[in-house]
Structure 1
Amino acid sequence: MTLDNAVHWKLSGFGDEIDPDPHVQGAVLLALGAHHIEVRSAWGINVVDLDDDATARLKSTLDALGLAVSAVASPIGKVDVSLPPRHEVERLTRVIRVAATLGAPYIRIFSFFRQPEQSAADIREAVIERMALLAATAEEAGVVLLHENEKGIYGDTPERVLDIVESVGSPALRLAWDSANFVQVGVRPFTEAYAMLRPHIEYLQVKDAVASTGDVVPAGEGDGEVLETLAALRDDGYTGFASLEPHLARAFELGGFSGPEAFGDAGRAFRHLTDSIGVKLV
């Protein structure tokens, strides 16, 4: 396949991996050829804490830069499952308001942590109850939730990710695919997860990891079977977002950071892979 008849994917990226300032975030993404941004925080404020004035200011900033918002990367579900079921519903309601102002069609979520003495089976019923409530809230608001396979949550293995999305059974709950996170829990992403989860994959988060250490590296430099996954998505007709989340400098509870230079390196590494398989990033 040549670039003349290439499949087109929409390039995006986690702006706060670049810099706390949305102006700097936007400048780097535009330099990488992106026309979208994924919003996790702005000016150091997480999306769940952005008030209406700050959200409107962010919207004006992004509009002036010519950037649309691909998704709001919320921390919803990145809490212990012992909290009351309505706890995250209330926080999601706030994030939905942010997403509406920013014009974002997607909100990223997670499927809850558990205590060290608890097994995944111990919390399954509570997780499904809470995920169903979140999906119902999103469906009513006309937004789609993207479950990310974060390590340590209930849905960190392919089988449990599938359990969540099939048990909830809502069109408002789809999957964000993260190869690095699968590597970090001992899963070979393409070999062991892709075919199982492909019917539910709506969004691509771009990062890779080394199996022996768990270290996050640019796409194609680790054990995340990224090139195989990208080629399969191309062949399966995927035409959605590809969002850079490099985590190359450090990772922490609510996200990660790369800085402008490392983020640029990650973007160029990803574009090299997509160019090699005839996918054009726009």
Structure 2
Amino acid sequence: MSISRRAFGGVAAATAGLAITSPTRAETAPAPKVRNRIAVSTYSFWRFKDDSKLSIEECIDQAARMGFDGVEILHIQMESEDPGYLQRLKQQAFINGLDLCGLSTHQGFVSPDEAVRQKNIDHTIHTIELAYALGIPTMRVNTGRWGTSGDFDELMANRGVEPRLPGYTDDDGFAWVIDAFEKIMPTAEKCGVTLGLENHWGLGLTPEGVLRIVDAVDSPWLRCTLDTGNFLEDPYDRLEKMAPETVFVQAKTYHGGGLWYSLELDYPRIAAMLRRHDYRGYVSLEFEGEEDWRTAIPKSLAELRAAFG
């Protein structure tokens, strides 16, 4: 039987309470400061730029050379899904001393067409199984969006806001997304892959939208991926609303100017906020600037190490 997220949290709290009843000398000592491990998304090298389409293998080698702790794989950047290819990636990361710590995927459930939603459900289940084969413990997922923007450039010009499909409401969209994730949860639980719903346009444009879905599904296998660069206004209060449910952080930098926009993000402030919420997981760099990745990614790593490490 599946356990709800709230029940899971209650069990964890009760277990922690038992530990507190008989503290040892070590347990009463001040807790050490958390050092978050720093990963890099393969997107940081690729960025959908025609002159920068590195293979996953090249990204792993570069991440090791630069001194990262892990690699987050962008699914659509993968050149194959054959079992042999997956295992070679896993071995390459292992030999380089890196974790494959995340899989970043795309799906969209905001559609009145049940067949479209089912296609995206099937795709998400398939990518969970890929994450399992790669030994990856968490996978970024999206709500999807209404699709009424002409293209992504238009969406960005409108600060991520787009009109609803005529004749439908946000409540309709949330119902579709919640129903889809409820159908996906058994596979996530079976494979041991924690899904992180990202603040990533569509119904995930606000922390309230993300948390509405996470709370409704109420499974420990659906939590939050926190993207520092996807709240374009007043980011800090919004990031903090999601922090208690966050299992993975994607940290944007924009050296050379952003591909679509730039934000001046205060990473020491963000790191302090996450420490208040006892976040101990990975921080994965998503470099999204125009500067050459060879110089921008090492600078970004130094920035994140200074804030989080």
State the TM-score, normalizing by the size of structure 1: 0.78
Letter in 1 for 2:275: R
Q: Name whichever structure is richer in strand by fraction.
A: 1
| Counterpart residue number, 1:255 | none
Q: Give structure 1 regions of 4+ aligned residues with deviation exceeding 4 angstroms.
A: 78-81, 213-217
Report sequence identity in percent. Answer: 23
Change (3 A) 1:115 1:18: closer
Q: Where does residue 21 of structure 1 map in the other structure?
A: 55
Matched, 1:129 2:156: no
Aligned-partner Cα distance in 1 for 2:131–2:179: 24
Offset of 1:143 from its aligned partner?
1.3
Q: Which amino acid aligns with 2:63?
A: L
Q: CA deviation at 1:41?
A: 4.2
SS at match of 2:145: coil
Q: Is the 8 A contact 2:267 2:304 kept in 1?
A: no
The residue type paired with residue 91 of structure 1 is H
Checking the alignment, whether the CA contact within 8 Å between 2:254 and 2:288 is kept in structure 1 is: no
Residues 214-241 of structure 1: CA distance to partner in whole angstroms, max 9, x if unpaired? 9455xxxx34454322111123322110
Equivalent position of 2:135 in the other structure: 103
Contact 2:139 2:193 in 1 (8 A): yes
Q: Aligned runs of 1:134-173 on 2, under 5 Å?
A: 134-151=184-201, 153-173=202-222
Displacement after TM superposition at 1:264 (Å): 2.1
Counterparts in 2 of 1:182 and 1:214: CA distance versus 1, 3 Å = farther
RMSD, matched Cα: 2.8
Deviations 1:156-209 (A, max 9, x none): 1111111111111111001011121111xxx31212x23422221111110157
Give the Cα–Cα distance (whole angstroms) in 2 for the partners of residues 239 and 206 of structure 1. Answer: 15
Specify the alignment match of 1:36 in structure 2.
70
Which secondary structure does the structure 2 equivalent of 1:114 belong to? Answer: coil
The Cα shift of 1:150 comes to: 0.9
- Find the aligned partners of 1:206 and 1:243 in 2 and give their Cα distance: 6
Opposite residue 70 of structure 2, the aligned amino acid is: H
d(CA) in 1 for partners of 2:172, 2:182: 18
Equivalent position SS for 1:71: strand
Task: Work out the CA distance in 1 between the residues paired with 2:259 and 2:294.
Answer: 23
Larger gyration radius, structure 1 or structure 2: 2
CA offset at residue 270 of structure 1?
2.1
Q: 1:92 to 1:143 in 2, by over 3 A?
A: same
Residue 284 (structure 2) pairs with residue 243 (structure 1): yes
* SS state at 2:248 partner: strand
Equivalent-residue separation in structure 2 for 1:58 and 1:87 (angstroms): 27
**Residue 268 of structure 1 pairs with residue 287 of structure 2:** no
Secondary structure of 2:139's match? strand
The size of the alignment, in residue pairs, is 250
Query: 2:55·2:78 contact (CA, 8 Å) conserved in 1?
Result: no
Partners of 1:60 and 1:208 in 2: CA distance: 29
**Residue 75 of structure 1, aligned match among 106, 113, 116:** 106
Structure 2 counterpart SS, 1:194:
helix
User: What is the CA deviation profile of residues 11-36 of structure 1, one whole-angstrom value per residue up to 9, with x for unaligned ones?
Assistant: 11112422523343123322332221
Does the residue aligned with 1:182 lie in a helix, a strand or coil? Answer: coil
Residue deviations 1:35-88 (CA, integer Å, cap 9, x gap): 21101148x436xx6222321222222222222211111223387563533322
1:83–1:63 distance in 2 versus 1, CA, 3 Å: farther
1:112 aligns with 2:136: no
For 1:224-235, what aligned pairs fall within 5 Å after superposition?
Answer: 224-235=265-276
Matched letter for residue 38 of structure 2: L
TM-score by length of 2: 0.71
**Cα 1:129–1:235, aligned 2, differ >3 Å: closer, same or farther?**
same
